[in-house]
């Protein structure tokens, strides 16, 4: 990713690029006009997208607070869309007074900071009260441009969906929405100590599902959940698998070199947890599994190391030291290493160093971390929830566990301890599997969804106005 810098994008960049491609296409046809289908495709592909991420900024460090896989998703998708000449402007809530109004994340990708509520100390649960202020900021930015500046709105998460609903209607453009997580799905499988999602969110999600021209689901299961739980029109739901940055997450120079760089023991069993520390992600299941394994096999204590890389988030913020205290109560504090969130480059090294990534989550719309670890050559031990059965090929690139019984996870960890080459063999298969999840593929599929949403929106407008 290029270092962000403040800039103002050229209004004509995307349009001139589009015109150049059209001219080249016509020239290849020997100066004949393109066929109607080609003409529609070229004309209706969005040139500039307003992308909304109210509650978390793509500039924030994933792994702490509310920053996680969605941040990575937005950053990578936006950059790949810009590479195929779809300019992206990302609107997010300003969390510091000193932030510039606009920051260039990459060529063709602009992050706009919107003032909405106090800069610090505002929990995600309090953000619905600031949606009016956020919407006002988005409209102010739009008012500074000529008509037709944005061709489409793409909102992420239900809070952004409500802003996107109003913006799309006001601008006369289609709305594409990605849920990322759904209240009804999360509430159906809550972890102990976690807080249920409020009824207001369920109502809000239902409204967005009805209002959007297209809904993007990470997996076929998520598409089914949209239809089953929210009565989504199946014809409006498109499945687009998220991707992985294959240039960053790769086996590189291998496990031994990564362990040397991170100061980890070379011959140890290293089950890694990487992500936000909250009940939803269930890092406690890994600690309990390690305790069960050492209770059965005490000789392994001298050759096991359990890194936990991430920061408190969500309901985990209520007890930020809770996981450390649990490790002490379980008698495994001597083998667990807590590390704060790290940047993407160093995260790739943590994946390479691990014997296995452990994801005992109660809910995952996809689980980007699982694909990232596999791309780095590391197998995954995960709960069979959400999109993880798509991300992980059970028995080939890792193992899926039904439920959250620590003993079940301990049995798999014992296999990795008893068969050191299992991590290498599965890791090679995992790296091959991850190759099919490149972000270029995801961006091309998303662009197709944009085109379909634009066509559907125009048909609806024509039918409404006779």
Q: How many domains does the chain have?
A: 2
* Inside any domain, residue 219: yes
Q: Above 70 in pLDDT, residue 61?
A: no
Q: Which residue segment(s) compose the domain that 214 sits in?
A: 48-243+440-455
pLDDT score recorded for residue 3: 45
Percent of the chain with pLDDT over 90: 71
- Do both 322 and 239 map to the same domain? no
- Do both 63 and 157 map to the same domain? yes
At 382 the three-state DSSP class reads: strand
Summarize the annotated binding site as residue ranges.
55, 61-62, 66-71, 124, 157, 181, 201, 276, 281, 342, 351-352, 354, 364, 372, 378
Euclidean distance between CA atoms 307 and 310, whole angstroms: 10
Angle made by CA atoms 292, 293, 295, in degrees to the nearest 5: 65
pLDDT score recorded for residue 34: 34
Query: Which of 8-17, 79-88, 348-357 has the lowest average pLDDT?
Result: 8-17
Top pLDDT among 341 and 273 is at 273
Contact between 362 and 406 under an 8 Å Cβ cutoff? The reply is no
Residue 132 CB partners (closer than 8 Å, separation 6+): none
* Inside any domain, residue 40: no
- Do both 265 and 408 map to the same domain? yes
Say if strands 380-383 and 109-114 run parallel, antiparallel, or are unpaired: unpaired
- Highest mean pLDDT, choosing among 63-77, 111-125, 130-144: 130-144
- Do both 305 and 413 map to the same domain? yes
- Do both 371 and 429 map to the same domain? yes
Euclidean distance between CA atoms 327 and 278, whole angstroms: 15
Q: Above 90 in pLDDT, residue 45?
A: no
- Do both 215 and 294 map to the same domain? no
pLDDT score recorded for residue 336: 97
The two three-digit tokens of residue 157, written as one number: 């998460």
Contact between 103 and 110 under an 8 Å Cβ cutoff? The reply is yes
Q: How high does pLDDT run on average in the chain?
A: 87
pLDDT score recorded for residue 42: 44
Euclidean distance between CA atoms 234 and 223, whole angstroms: 8
- Do both 238 and 312 map to the same domain? no
pLDDT score recorded for residue 38: 37
Residue 456 CB partners (closer than 8 Å, separation 6+): 174, 213, 214, 236
Contact between 457 and 258 under an 8 Å Cβ cutoff? The reply is no
Q: Say how many residues make up the chain.
A: 466
* Inside any domain, residue 465: no
- At 194, the pLDDT band (50, 70, 90 cuts) reads confident
- Do both 161 and 148 map to the same domain? yes
Question: Span 182-204, mean pLDDT?
Answer: 90
Summarize the annotated binding site for UDP-N-acetyl-alpha-D-glucosamine as residue ranges.
61-62, 69, 276, 281, 342, 364, 372
The two three-digit tokens of residue 184, written as one number: 């009804």
- Do both 448 and 430 map to the same domain? no
Q: Above 80 in pLDDT, residue 302?
A: yes
Contact between 88 and 454 under an 8 Å Cβ cutoff? The reply is no
- Do both 447 and 422 map to the same domain? no
Q: What is the CATH number of the domain that holds 189?
A: 3.40.50.2000
Query: Which of 5-9, 41-45, 395-399 has the lowest average pLDDT?
Result: 5-9
Answer positive or negative: Cα dihedral of 64, 276, 77, 131: negative
Q: Above 60 in pLDDT, residue 151?
A: yes
* Inside any domain, residue 42: no
* Inside any domain, residue 86: yes
Say if strands 271-274 and 306-309 run parallel, antiparallel, or are unpaired: parallel
* Inside any domain, residue 94: yes
Q: Which of 381, 374, 382, 383 is nearest to 351 (CA)?
A: 374
- Do both 213 and 185 map to the same domain? yes
- Do both 338 and 310 map to the same domain? yes
Summarize the annotated binding site for 1D-myo-inositol 3-phosphate as residue ranges.
55, 66-71, 124, 157, 181, 201
E strand residue ranges, 228-286: 237-239, 271-274
Cα radius of gyration (the chain): 23
Top pLDDT among 56 and 248 is at 248
Contact between 400 and 253 under an 8 Å Cβ cutoff? The reply is no
């Amino acid at each position: 990713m290029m270092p962000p810098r403040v800039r103002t994008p050229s209004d004509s960049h995307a349009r001139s690029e589009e015109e150049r491609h059209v001219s080249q296409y016509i020239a290849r046809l020997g100066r004949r006009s393109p066929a109607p289908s080609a003409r529609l495709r070229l004309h209706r592909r969005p040139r500039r997208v307003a992308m909304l991420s109210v509650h978390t900024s793509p500039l924030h460090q994933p792994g702490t607070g509310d920053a996680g896989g969605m941040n990575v998703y937005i950053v990578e998708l936006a950059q790949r869309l810009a590479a195929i000449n779809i300019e992206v402007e990302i609107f997010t809530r300003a969390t510091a007074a000193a932030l510039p109004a606009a920051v260039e994340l990459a060529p063709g990708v602009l992050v706009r900071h919107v003032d909405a509520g106090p800069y610090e100390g505002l929990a995600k649960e309090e953000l619905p009260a600031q949606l009016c202020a956020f919407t006002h900021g988005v409209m102010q930015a739009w008012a500074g441009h000529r008509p037709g500046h944005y061709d489409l709105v793409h909102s992420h998460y239900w809070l952004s969906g409500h802003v996107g609903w109003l913006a799309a209607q006001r601008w006369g453009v289609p709305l594409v929405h990605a849920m990322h997580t759904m209240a009804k799905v999360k509430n159906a499988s809550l972890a102990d100590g976690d807080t249920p999602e409020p009824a207001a969110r369920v109502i809000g999600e239902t409204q967005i599902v009805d209002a959007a021209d297209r809904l993007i689901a990470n997996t076929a299961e998520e598409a089914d959940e949209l239809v089953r739980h929210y009565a989504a029109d199946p014809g409006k739901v498109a499945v687009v698998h998220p991707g992985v940055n294959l240039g960053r997450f790769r086996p590189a120079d291998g496990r031994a070199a990564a362990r040397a760089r991170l100061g980890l023991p070379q011959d140890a069993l290293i089950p890694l947890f990487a992500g936000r520390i909250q009940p939803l992600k269930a890092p406690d299941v890994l600690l309990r599994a390690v305790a069960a394994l050492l209770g059965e096999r005490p000789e392994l204590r001298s050759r096991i190391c359990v890194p936990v890389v991430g920061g408190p988030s969500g309901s985990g913020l209520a007890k930020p030291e809770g996981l450390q205290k649990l490790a002490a109560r379980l008698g495994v504090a001597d083998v667990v290493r807590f590390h704060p969130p790290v940047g993407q480059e160093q995260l790739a090294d943590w994946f390479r160093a691990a014997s296995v990534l452990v994801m005992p989550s109660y809910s995952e719309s996809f689980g980007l971390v699982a694909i990232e670890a596999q791309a780095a050559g590391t197998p995954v031990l995960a709960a069979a929830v959400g999109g993880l059965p798509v991300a992980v090929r059970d028995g080939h690139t890792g193992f899926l566990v039904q439920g959250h019984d620590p003993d079940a996870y301990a049995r798999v960890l014992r296999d990795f301890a008893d068969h050191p080459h299992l991590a290498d063999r599965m890791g090679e298969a995992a790296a091959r599997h991850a190759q099919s999840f490149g972000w270029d593929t995801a961006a091309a599929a998303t662009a197709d969804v944009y085109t379909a949403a634009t066509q559907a929106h125009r048909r609806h407008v024509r039918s409404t106005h006779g």
